Amino acid sequence: MGMEWYIVRRVAWAAIVTFIIVSITWGLMAAAPNPEVQAAATQAAMDGDDPTAAAERAEARLQLDRPLHERFMDYVVGVYTLNWGWSNTRNQPVTQAILESLYYTVQYSVPWTILTVLIGPLVGLYSAANQYSWKDHVATGFAFFGFAIPNFFFGIILLLLFGVTLRWIPIVYQTDVPVFSVQNAIQLAVPVFVLVTGSIGAIMRVSRNESVEYTNADFVKTARAKGVSTYRIYFRHVLRPTMVPLSTTIVGYLLALFTGSSLLVEVVFGIPGLGRTLYDAVVAQDTSLVLGSTLFFTFVATIGNLIQDLVYTLLDPRISFEDR
């Protein structure tokens, strides 16, 4: 019993939650009028063709002319037999659509996450070490600037500067360059920069505040009195305790490693990643693809939460799962 029983219950609960979320999503999608049918009718109307017939043809093609319960049962059976269906807007299997998009998302979200996790706490620590000096203000200003400026706007400005004026980076994202190549690093540099500046703000502020708390702690004063070097004090005696509360934020970021994608940055830089895929699918009501993506995100989120809960027990043995 104990932890094993807790894990079994959590996993079972995750399956139920996933089913509920996906069923609600399915219901919402089914209730909304399908834009593809509407578009077919409008186009036919503008061209003087029979709009009603065009709408009926589109419904038949999208299999929307079948009864609701049949469509729902098909879907539920598909989910549990890992047959996630066919994306009508991409004309490929949903699983393939998600994997293809993930491939491009990972290429920028991995460096984004690593840089955020590395730079955020360090800038916070630097600010704390130089509290209220001009260096602190510059670092804080930098963090707030990145946090405050909308990513898509910043992206367009940098694209115009580095792409059009200086011509250092390509405007059109190249999917055919190798992942580990200089061209790929060049084309991903600006999107990663935009994302990192946008996301370190919060981490930097938390780590600054936590670090400030420890810079005047008794054990730091003792270390200083013993003649320990400044760098050692900051990295060993300040940063370490700071990282404990920060780790919850960072675990969140690590979770986002494979799923965190930014729609607007993908739109501006033309990166064919998950954010765009899901957004396009929602807009076009590509039910299978929306549900497939929802399933994927729900799965990652519930499993991620479970892992996070388990990690607590490893970090802090005082937390126990007995009797929960």
Interface positions with other proteins (CB under 8 A): 33, 35, 38, 40-54, 57, 60-61, 63, 86, 88-92, 97, 100-101, 104, 156, 159-160, 163-164, 167, 170-173, 175-176, 267-270, 272-273, 276-277, 280, 284
The least distance separating other proteins from the CB of residue 50, rounded to whole angstroms, comes to: 5
The least distance separating other proteins from the CB of residue 256, rounded to whole angstroms, comes to: 20
Choice between 13 and 168, CB closer to other proteins = 168
Choice between 121 and 155, CB closer to other proteins = 155
| 193: phi then psi, degrees, rounded to nearest 5 | -60, -45
The least distance separating other proteins from the CB of residue 287, rounded to whole angstroms, comes to: 14
Q: What is the CA radius of gyration of the chain?
A: 25
The rounded distance, in Å, linking the Cα atoms of 9 and 268 is: 43
Choice between 87 and 207, CB closer to other proteins = 87
Which of these, 180, 157, 181, 184, lies nearest to 170 by C-alpha position? 184
Which of these, 117, 109, 275, lies nearest to 195 by C-alpha position? 109
The least distance separating other proteins from the CB of residue 172, rounded to whole angstroms, comes to: 5
For 13-24, b/e burial (b = at least 16 CB within 10 A) is ebeeebeebbee
The rounded distance, in Å, linking the Cα atoms of 285 and 34 is: 6
The least distance separating other proteins from the CB of residue 27, rounded to whole angstroms, comes to: 20
Choice between 19 and 152, CB closer to other proteins = 152
Choice between 47 and 323, CB closer to other proteins = 47
DSSP string of 87-140? ETTTTEEHHHHHHHHHHHHHHHHHHHHHHHHHHHHHHHHHHHHTTTSHHHHHHH
The least distance separating other proteins from the CB of residue 57, rounded to whole angstroms, comes to: 5
Choice between 3 and 28, CB closer to other proteins = 28
How far apart are the two ends of the chain, measured CA to CA in Å?
10
Structure tokens at 16: 């139920």
The least distance separating other proteins from the CB of residue 40, rounded to whole angstroms, comes to: 7
Q: Which residues lie across from 87 on neighbouring strands?
A: 92
Choice between 55 and 204, CB closer to other proteins = 55
The rounded distance, in Å, linking the Cα atoms of 80 and 74 is: 10
